[in-house]
Structure 1
Amino acid sequence: MKRGSAAGFTLLEVMLAILLLALLLAGSYGAIRTAVHAMHSGESAIDRTNRLRVAQEFMRHQISRIMPLPFGRDESTNTNLIFEGRRDFIRFVAPMPGYLSKGGPYVQTLAFKGGRGGRQLLFNDEMLNGFDPEAKSDNEPSLLLDQIEEGHFEFRTLDENGELTDWSDDWDDPSMTPVMIRIVARMSPEARVEFPPMDIPLMLDAGSARRQQPFQTFGARSALKPVKAR
């Protein structure tokens, strides 16, 4: 009687099994890496979108609450400085949110400036009491947005008939406030986020600042300093 030969795997079968196992492990590792990358990309997209929304809401909150209070005086024209607006810069007086405020109104600026990887939108604030327009600010500006290809401000007011005028990127009467401010920012492709134009109406009655007022009206003569004509 013959004994049954012991069953086993050939070398070729073992090598094929190892190869299949390696392929399965490589596929699993690739799938895990793809899932992790997608998760990180999704988190980055959410973070970019949230940062943009926070910046937009902050600017909307501050601009909509602009107050017709003077932060300086142009002695050459004998006018109060209530609002300064250029294509790349605005300055105004408004209250700060409670968690950032020490009380009282603040002189606030928003400015588009050059930076690495494109232009940046910067914010700065100083208390109105004792503010000097000619002095250099000691406060470090806060970065609201970066990676901007092009950005500017536009302004809208009322004509003599009470009708809204066309948008303009230059504000030529600092003794008056506009009734609406537009912020336009075209983001660079690297930012991977869009910035829709923001049209922000002022909540306070802009008509209260549409005529030149003496400093006594605001009771702020002692706190304000004259500035040179620009």
Structure 2
Amino acid sequence: MRRQGIRGFTLLELILALSIVGAVLVIMFGGLRVGLAAWQRGEHRAADLDHARSLVLLLEHALEGAFPYRVTSDDGQGPRILFEGQPDRLILVTLSPPFPAAGSVAFTAMSLSGEAGGLTLRQQALPNPVALDAIEPVLVDATTTAVRFRYLGGKPEEWQDRWDIGKEQTLPRAVEITLVTGTGGGPLVPPALIVPIRATAP
């Protein structure tokens, strides 16, 4: 009596099954790679946003302490308030410097500008005859790709790209700061920061 043989897989069926398993694995690993890349982009974006927030808080603290400090004018027209307001540059005197000096210093002049594609901050204790542009920066943030300032004041009161201290004779009522940051994940523009200035006139 002959035993009937048990039929196994043919070579073609085996190759087909392995091909299907391989295709499923490729799809799974492709999806995993895409998900991992998206997660890493999200992490970088969150880090950029945290960094931008820390810069905004640093600048907000300094501007809240702005003071109408008078210096001797170079043109011989008497004392003037030390303040320069341009679209991409801001010079002021503050009672709350971003990086406090070691000693007891009441007034600190600081300069913010968008130099060479980054945010540059200089500061010095007053009185000091050295021009701000001649001293080394205390902060150069290369992740800031653009910085923009606007100033609230004038008659009628409105936002201006420049603040003429010689004409206005007071500090602006508020300063708006817009930063554009990013480290490769595309530009990141946090909401504009508007800082009211309490002491506008001596």
Change in 2 beyond 3 A, CA 1:46/1:157:
same
- The answer to whether the aligner puts 1:142 opposite 2:157 as a matched pair is no
Give the partner amino acid of 2:194.
Answer: D
- The answer to whether the aligner puts 1:169 opposite 2:170 as a matched pair is no
Percent of residue pairs bearing the same amino acid type: 20
TM-score by length of 1: 0.72
How many aligned positions are there? 195
Q: What are the equivalent positions in structure 2 for 1:32-181 lying under 5 Å apart?
A: 32-70=32-70, 72-76=71-75, 77-94=77-94, 95-97=96-98, 100-103=100-103, 104=105, 105-115=107-117, 120-133=118-131, 136-139=134-137, 141-143=139-141, 146-148=144-146, 151-157=147-153, 165-173=157-165, 176-181=170-175
Give the partner amino acid of 2:24.
Answer: L
Uncovered stretches (5+) of structure 1, i.e. residues with no partner: 210-230
Change in 2 beyond 3 A, CA 1:176/1:168:
same
Secondary structure class of the residue paired with 2:24: helix
TM-score by length of 2: 0.80
What residue in structure 1 maps to residue 191 of structure 2?
196
Moved over 6 A (4+): 186-190
Q: Offset of 1:131 from its aligned partner? A: 4.8
